Amino acid sequence: MGYKVKKIRLYSYSDNKVFPQDLPEDNPDMLNKFEKTIESMKNFRFETFIQDNKLKCKSCIYEPACDRSLL
């Protein structure tokens, strides 16, 4: 997005803790997973998506209005 990221930290509201994370370029495995995730997001097509996990449908607040629900 054009921003220079200097550090990554995850914040937990439940216990008010901060968890520092490696930058993707500092961890080759993380960089690979990150790039694959971004590529998957770019290629996702909702029109052809078929849900196969009933547990996700069961806990989804949109399930009653969903035309793809497994329930």
First vs last C-alpha separation in the chain: 38
Question: Which pLDDT value is given to residue 64?
Answer: 92
Please state the domain count of the chain.
1
Residue 1 resides in a domain = no
Residue 70 resides in a domain = no
Longest dimension (CA), the chain: 44
Domain of 31? 8-65
Residue 26 resides in a domain = yes
DSSP-assigned beta bridge partners for residue 21: 8
Instruction: Give the mean pLDDT per block of 10 residues along the chain (71 residues).
Output: 88 96 88 91 90 91 90 85
Question: Which pLDDT value is given to residue 44?
Answer: 93
Residue 15 resides in a domain = yes
Question: Which pLDDT value is given to residue 29?
Answer: 92
Residue 45 to residue 47: CA distance in whole angstroms: 5
State the pTM of this model.
Answer: 0.53
Residue 3 resides in a domain = no
Residue 71 resides in a domain = no
